[in-house]
Copies of this chain bind each other. A is one copy, B any other.
Amino acid sequence: MHQFRRCTKLLCVVEKHGLRERKKQRTRQALIEAAVRLFEDKDYDHVTVAEIADAAEVSPRTFFLHFQAKEDVLLANADMRVDLALQAIAERRAGERLPEVLVRAMDEMIANTWDSDLPSGLAALRARLAASVPALQARLLQRYLTAQAELAQALQRAFPDRLDTITASALVGAMVGATSASALTALQRGDGPNEVRNAMRQAMALVAQSVT
């Protein structure tokens, strides 16, 4: 019944199998862009799904065919980033210790966000809205939680003799919790992108030293 959908690793690679798939991606992209444009103009919840669909020149019904909820249009590529982190853990380098692997995985996600969403302004918009719109914040946290479970599982697989299930989830929970809390604090203080990133690094370092 309830179900958090995740894209598989394969789907995250841009497939262009046929005109059909490309068309679908185009309307999806149109919806995202229309939404972002509208959110930059008006208050988040004064923008209705109907308006977004209208701006993207599709029917409102189509919106929900691409996104499970209104909020998801702003978290479009989050799944891909989790996959990056999972891969980073799986490809543990020789001699790399536990905290380093975890930090590298987190860095992978952050770096990808920086590269793809920062220039477009999407990162800033999302940050601003996530700090002020409860519904979006809730959805974001929820996705963090499911991502955490996957990261914990991957981490335990990478260090089977060192971690039990509880420790693994505690560790990942601490890392994600600390990072997002400090990022949010920095954001609400009015910090710019680089300061926010520094805050995240600082938080990660703090947690990392607990597993030295």
Instruction: Select which of B137, B142, B165, B172 is within 8 A of A134 by beta carbon.
Output: B142
A60 interface hit (Cβ, 8 Å): no
A20 located at the interface, meaning its Cβ lies under 8 Å from any Cβ of chain B in the complex: no
Contacts of A169 in B (CB 8 A): 181-182, 184-185, 203
Structural contact, A178 and B185, CB atoms closer than 8 A: no
Which of chain B's residues have a CB closer than 8 A to the CB of A199? 166, 170
Q: Is A132 an interface residue (CB 8 A)?
A: yes
**Protomer copies:** 2
Check A170 against B178 for contact (C-beta < 8 Å): yes
Given contacts A134-B2, A169-B181, A185-B165, contact A206 B141 (CB under 8 A): no
Interface status of A43 (Cβ within 8 A of chain B): yes
**Chain B residue contacts of A152, Cβ below 8 A:** 181, 185
Across the interface, do A165 and B180 meet the contact criterion of CB distance under 8 Å?
Answer: no
CA gap between A2 and B132 in the complex, in Å: 7
CB distance from A9 to the nearest CB of B (A): 23
Interface string of A105-134 (1 = CB under 8 A from B): 000000000000000000000000000111
What are 16 contact pairs spanning A and B, CB under 8 A?
A134-B142, A138-B141, A152-B181, A166-B202, A170-B178, A170-B203, A173-B203, A174-B177, A174-B178, A174-B203, A174-B206, A176-B177, A177-B178, A177-B180, A207-B210, A210-B211
Residues on A facing B (Cβ under 8 Å): 1-2, 4, 43, 132-134, 137-139, 141-142, 144-145, 148-149, 152, 165-167, 169-182, 184-186, 189, 199, 202-203, 206-207, 209-211
